[in-house]
Structure 1
């Protein structure tokens, strides 16, 4: 969900870690060669990261992606039975699922004793939230804004070949998973949004403007219709979100807000289940098509796992990126760091047994070598970035979310 300061610096530099002739070769599952040079998208993403404008990307600069290889679509559809047995059970039945109201002051009919409890619980919530420092509030708002862009993420998944819900109410397992996942994710933004409103600590209109802009701006993914790339990307995003909310929960405890800790904890638990689902599905595809999947993984890594909130804007546009400022605060607060990103890469390389893959093509072997050597390089870059940051003076940035107060970003 959120890539932060040093993590942003590190991932931006990962493009220089590519190997020669990476996109050479051919084959039916030629995943790594878009119809136009990939630097076109990289350039657009870089431009988006340095601009807070809400204007949509000029359609004249759009890239035409090649058709998804038939073998990919067949591979993902072949997992429908597996999805029914292994992914759908990870969704919580509605009857036993938590709802946002469970973690907020209880509403009731006027004049009842429960209504009195609402007032008391609201006062307790606001008193605890009053102790939260501004950097934690910025991280919480940035995470919530990203969660609220769920319609974009569902739209992106529905574009994925072999996975999308073609009818809107399809009974196919992949479609049922997508709708169930969306329903569970929808509670996250609702809960965080209501909590922030009730605290009275943030400028909710500016927060709402930011959500509006992000939904209008959308998001960009490399190879957006490829099921291989989409599942790998989702695995990383769910794990990043789990880590981010988990760290925020610990910060909430540190500052005495146990309500916020419970809220972030329950959201993190959902993200952990969703990560497990996408990670296991990806593992199945590694068994079905190891060459195609390792090349897709390398391509996602070369694309720097572009974060879904990258195009967020509060509409004020100072010529810098709101997402970059939010990311820098989150890095500094320890909500999600470059170290977390390196750990994630190492985790998935180990989980998907990338180093043990055999029978690969020349491109597949180069992709395998690149991915397996990536985590140590990320950590070296992180160390260099830390040293450079330590030599500089603290940098402050203002956030409209917290009534234009300034927070240290570097």
Structure 2
């Protein structure tokens, strides 16, 4: 795909405003493609409402929550709470991207459409969690209040390109996390629900990834630097929620999201699709960013291998204990 661009003397001549204008046609094309392939779905169709019953409070027949009521595995419950609290911060995410991309034209249409589609995810997940009694409803609401009271501020405030690079990876990371949570949940209903959410997240990733590809054609040096910065400093949007570090560690051990998954299933697919390490014609800063990105990926793979070895050793110890017991 070749994009007509303004006559700019160097990468430094690009501003966010100029990039937004130059990418408007690509956004419109990707929006139209997205609307052709996306399928509407009803959150209530994925929730087992027949399993629901009242909680204590205003209802005399309310039954208190107990862990044994849940069909979901322990690591599945942990991941579901993290995933839902991430989705709950949608108002903050909408504010971030609407402020950055604007509310007019194709950019604005996409911002609102993306927000509407993401809204379904929080709806269906909360209905499922409460109806199936997968988690403590009181703690879930306390966590939601604490997390949303903090709000959300992106780590990628350097430029519009940083934000596009981030969401290209974050949408795929979210898809992978949802899909693996479903696999590890132990509940086919939960697995089916999260598989449906993952389809949306994948389509969102494709939108942003294709936009990032177009940005590489327009401003290769600046885009390479943005990708380098985002990859090296990547954090999931839920990092500020209560107890996130402990939950992330448990999700890593439970093989929902860890270094190996991050390297193999998130970073590598996007970078490989964009052929980031093969892009030529870069200036000094772009070449430096490309080299640093390659070095970082090599180091991350080494760290992921160390994690794999520790996880395998842990599994062996647990298997030995189970056999001895």
Query: 1:100 and 2:22 equivalent?
Result: no
Alignment coverage as a number of residue pairs: 292
Match of 1:305 in 2: 234
Query: 1:345 and 2:267 equivalent?
Result: yes
Match of 1:333 in 2: 254
Q: Distance in 1 between matches of 2:149 and 2:223?
A: 32
CA contact (8 A) 1:100 1:191 kept: yes
Change (3 A) 1:189 1:352: same
Match of 1:164 in 2: 102
The structure with higher relative contact order (CA 8 Å, sep 6+) is 1
1:336-375 aligned at under 5 Å gives the runs 336-343=257-264, 344-375=266-297
Q: Distance in 2 between matches of 1:215 and 1:385?
A: 32
1:312-337 deviation per Cα after TM superposition (whole angstroms, max 9, x unaligned): 12xxxxxxxx1101101111111111
* Equivalent residue for 1:288, pick from 181, 194, 218: 218
- Secondary structure at 2:15's aligned position in 1? helix
1:205-234 deviation per Cα after TM superposition (whole angstroms, max 9, x unaligned): 211121122112123333426210011000
* Equivalent residue for 2:117, pick from 181, 184, 187: 184
Deviation at 1:388, TM superposition (A): 5.8
Q: Distance in 1 between matches of 2:290 and 2:157?
A: 22
CA contact (8 A) 1:156 1:224 kept: no
Show structure 1 runs of 5+ residues with no match.
1-26, 31-68, 106-117, 314-321, 393-410
Query: 1:376 and 2:298 equivalent?
Result: yes
Match of 1:235 in 2: 168
Match of 2:201 in 1: 271
Change (3 A) 1:29 1:287: closer
Q: Distance in 1 between matches of 2:270 and 2:287?
A: 17
CA contact (8 A) 1:339 1:379 kept: yes
CA contact (8 A) 1:295 1:367 kept: yes
Q: Distance in 1 between matches of 2:304 and 2:310?
A: 10
CA contact (8 A) 1:159 1:225 kept: no
Deviation at 1:152, TM superposition (A): 1.1
1:5-404 aligned at under 5 Å gives the runs 29=11, 70-91=14-35, 97-105=40-48, 119=50, 122=52, 130-160=70-100, 163-165=101-103, 170=104, 172-224=105-157, 226-252=159-185, 255=186, 257-302=187-232, 304-313=233-242, 322-343=243-264, 344-387=266-309
Change (3 A) 1:355 1:383: closer
Which shifted more, 357-366 or 275-284?
Answer: 357-366
1:255-303 deviation per Cα after TM superposition (whole angstroms, max 9, x unaligned): 2x2211110000000000000000000001111111110011111123x
Is the helix fraction higher in 1 or 2?
Answer: 2
Q: Distance in 1 between matches of 2:124 and 2:311?
A: 35
1:7-33 deviation per Cα after TM superposition (whole angstroms, max 9, x unaligned): xxxxxxxxxxxxxxxxxxxx9656xxx
CA-atom RMSD, angstroms? Answer: 2.6
Give me the TM-score of the superposition, normalised by structure 2: 0.82
1:318-374 deviation per Cα after TM superposition (whole angstroms, max 9, x unaligned): xxxx11011011111111111111122222221111122222121110101111233
Q: Distance in 2 between matches of 1:276 and 1:147?
A: 19
CA contact (8 A) 1:88 1:177 kept: no
Show structure 2 runs of 5+ residues with no match.
1-8, 54-67, 315-325
Deviation at 1:87, TM superposition (A): 2.4
Deviation at 1:387, TM superposition (A): 4.8
Q: Distance in 1 between matches of 2:78 and 2:70?
A: 14
Change (3 A) 1:381 1:261: same
